[in-house]
Structure 1
């Protein structure tokens, strides 16, 4: 711009800084304070470089494998130019191999969005600048410019967006760290849903979201939740991030309505019946509730002995011996007397006049599995004797099988509270209590789990677990005495309240590494935590403020190209490599004129701040990512004095860096 009067120059990044926080603009542009490199930002730089260089190779070679081969050289070239970047991978930083793997994941995601073999960009990393009539110079770097044969222009920009959180799956459990794209989780509708995307590891402010039933999940500040909020008999469903939950909950508490925000409970898991359950589910539940831990027998009260005997025989293929004990009865399921241990019903003929119980197919036993066992034998084979717990295969069995398992538990150690109209289960076995809570969650039931000391003069002191819940869509009892008391006792209002996972608190906790996934469920929801909490895809779409800033940057570039070439770009395309989404916007001249007015207004505000010295901070959620906490008064820091030789306002905003 030699010989042309220029009052000032600005890039979209610096304009965005001032719009976000004038003090941030001052720290970066005037004070030029150093900022430590961030793994996320450097990942973006490396991936950008690979995508830029990828178009230098022949079209047929633009494959994920070729891009992957270019990754390490791009990183090594950047490291050679900036050796200080190696400090990111110290004792407190990420593992270099894992970080490079995350770069590869982002690159692979690009190929799901575009096929670079079918593209020939007109420009890459294009430096552009244009002087407005106001003598303000706009400049910056555009990632990519595509020009169609008819002259239409497309501006393309690449954007990038507690790993030990347990995640229930159709076959058991995984963690956020272990789950991979293509794995199956469980959606809020109870059906298996496939992971389609997974983010890199983030280091962000974290919060523990605790629900009224005691369940909790640690999530970062931008994790999304689908919640319902009640105000004056009106309910609104909203999607908000974790910090939004905290703000909303604080406001509701100030209004005296701390229970007015909740997550809707998930549906029962829709899983197919299993044929590999060695013990009928009801009988296993009954033994877990009131069985002898040393043998396969059940202790039954005198009033229930007849009905329980009928239930045992309905659920057992063998014999059932009933004998009276000192104060109760014992029912012992045994083998079928007409079969051998391996299930054969033919025996060898008697010899010497004595009956024989030797199987006629004895020679085949070595290659077979014993199938005609007593309940004691099955429990021993499954490792349940002296070790009561609900095996995982039962917790992920078919819906009816899980209901029968629960009914066995409830018919023995369960009870019905006719005053509160709630069902309950008690045990002093920690592992069994956890299994019952998980079983209820798999059936779409939201239990309340209480614990209190259990003091006994004979046995060691233990913890007494009390698990209560409201039956909503099935009767949790088979025993007639209990089933009749429960039948029809709950109301529609109770059912509605039971479906709410009320948020009790949102509290800041020390930051931990976090990740997020996207699933292919229609409502973008999946279950997380041991409490089966429904949560939303994080990164499904960029946050509204982030998206607005990105679009401003794109309009900025479109304005520069319009002023340079006289053609309004037909499409602005944001490719979010972090979550695999493409956002397209079609600008017109009115949009770009409005953008020009906005940029000029920003520049006037910058000049005014420079003249007055008023670089006031603008606190927001973005503050948590700022590198200048030690200098910011909102974080308890001290603003440094301006440099002795402050450049004139016309030069203060000049930004030599690329965007």
Structure 2
């Protein structure tokens, strides 16, 4: 019942081996949960690397317990060890059928994790409204409080700034229907001072304290990123954020995961007039109206309504289970209901009991 690697905590990421009794992890509902005990040792039996559809992995001992949803012709909730995951395999081979019960694919993914929750954490002090920071991270000048915005979206952005207690202090048309605006934060602080305090000037990234801020603050930050540099595909609720900064896209993927969503990262060429000018990173995920990932009406109106059941976009399919031999792992026992806590970069619910 042991694990290794990165473990999310209310204060950020910690290696499993460094966790001790009295520390806090995050339970299946995304709430802080105290650690009752933590024991690190080298296994005498096999460990397994479990890989998920988004490319993240977790290394765990053979008797580590996974709360999962298993497909065996139909679905059931269960809890099995790493060894059982490996023995049963990652696919279920079902007979092909036709008609109302048509099954055109024989090999079906056997294991899905329980849904990743949105983290439920306390509000963090911020020198700048998270929405404005997100918009600046997407379409702002890295050296100061200036944002490039289209003429069509300018009224929306001006309205948001007013609502947030900020204001536009200059507006300049750059070319065509594009404006560059300079903003400040009213009586609170200058835009430069706030960006400097967040340590993002000339180094765009999401500050660590904001990745562990309240649900509302993290959601507002994502809204700014989507409204400035995102695209929502009508009819599918598919959301894409495209960036040219590797550091910022990695932070953005982490941010999306903390909201209980399931991003996938892709890398390609950034082109201008058919010529490669750099690298383009894309975070793609599915969101629904209830997720509130955008404020801009022309984008938010494209989000589909979520149904009653947990959407497939919020669970992680297990795609590979690889034996590794012995490894250094840590047994963690927490006070959460059922002893379940989140582990790995994908924030996957795992158990501390057999």
Fold shared, TM-score > 0.5 on shorter chain: yes
| Residue among 259, 274, 287 paired with 2:136 | 287
Does the CA contact (< 8 Å) of 2:69 and 2:75 recur in 1?
yes
Question: What is the CA-CA distance between 1:228 and the residue it aligns to?
Answer: 0.7
Where structure 1 has 5 or more consecutive residues not aligned to the other structure, the ranges are 1-160, 337-342, 344-370, 542-659
Q: Distance in 2 between matches of 1:304 and 1:319?
A: 14
Q: Which secondary structure state, in structure 2, belongs to the residue aligned with residue 200 of structure 1?
A: strand
1:227 Cα deviation (Å)? 0.9
- Alpha-carbon distance, 1:254 to partner: 7.8
Match of 1:141 in 2: none
Question: How many angstroms apart in 1 are the aligned matches of 2:142 and 2:93?
Answer: 48
Partner of 1:271: 121
What is the TM-score of this pair, normalised by structure 1?
Answer: 0.49
Pairs within 5 Å for 1:158-237: 165-203=5-43, 204-232=45-73, 234-237=74-77
1:152 maps to which residue?
Answer: none
Instruction: Find the counterpart in structure 1 of residue 180 from structure 2.
Output: 330
Q: Secondary structure at the match of 2:18?
A: coil
Cα displacement string for residues 80-105 of structure 1 (whole angstroms, at most 9, x for unaligned residues): xxxxxxxxxxxxxxxxxxxxxxxxxx
Residue 259 (structure 1) aligns with? 109
- Give the structure 1 partner of residue 155 of structure 2: 306
More strand by share: 2
Contact 1:470 1:495 in 2 (8 A): no
Name the structure where helix makes up a greater proportion of residues.
Answer: 1
Q: Which has the higher contact order (CA 8 A, sep 6+)?
A: 2
The match for 1:321 among 158, 166, 170 is 170
CA drift of 1:162 comes to 8.3
Structure 2: distance between partners of 1:248 and 1:217: 18
Q: Which residue number in structure 1 is paired with residue 103 of structure 2?
A: none
Does the alignment pair 1:297 with 2:146? yes
Aligned mates of 1:293, 1:217 — CA distance in 2: 35
Larger of the two Rg values belongs to structure: 1
Structure 2, gaps ≥5 residues long: 96-105
TM-score (norm 2): 0.89
Residue 438 of structure 1 aligns with which residue? 254
Provide the residue aligned with 1:483 in structure 2.
300
Determine helix, strand or coil for the equivalent of 1:397: coil
Task: Check if 1:496 corresponds to 2:324.
Answer: no
Count of equivalent residues: 341
Partners of 2:308 and 2:281 lie apart in 1 by 27
* Distance change >3 Å, CA 455–CA 321, structure 1 → 2: closer
Report the counterpart of residue 425 of structure 1 in structure 2.
241
What SS does structure 2 have at the residue aligned with 1:243? helix
Once the two structures are superposed, residues 592-613 of structure 1 have per-residue CA deviations (whole angstroms, 9 ceiling, x without a partner) of: xxxxxxxxxxxxxxxxxxxxxx
* Kept after mapping to 2: 8 A contact 1:166/1:175: yes
How many Å separate the matches in 2 of 1:533 and 1:183? 19
The aligned residue for residue 99 of structure 2 is: none
Question: Alpha-carbon deviation of 1:249?
Answer: 2.3
Q: Deviations over 1:295-353 (max 9, x none)?
A: 111110121111111112222435543221123111211254xxxxxx6xxxxxxxxxx
Cα pair 2:235 2:302 within 8 Å, conserved: no
Rounded Cα–Cα distance in structure 2 between residues aligned with 1:377 and 1:516: 44
State the match for 1:5 in structure 2: none
Distance in 1, Cα, partners of 2:297 & 2:115: 29
8 Å contact kept, 2:90–2:110:
no
2:173 and 2:179 in contact (8 A); partners too: yes
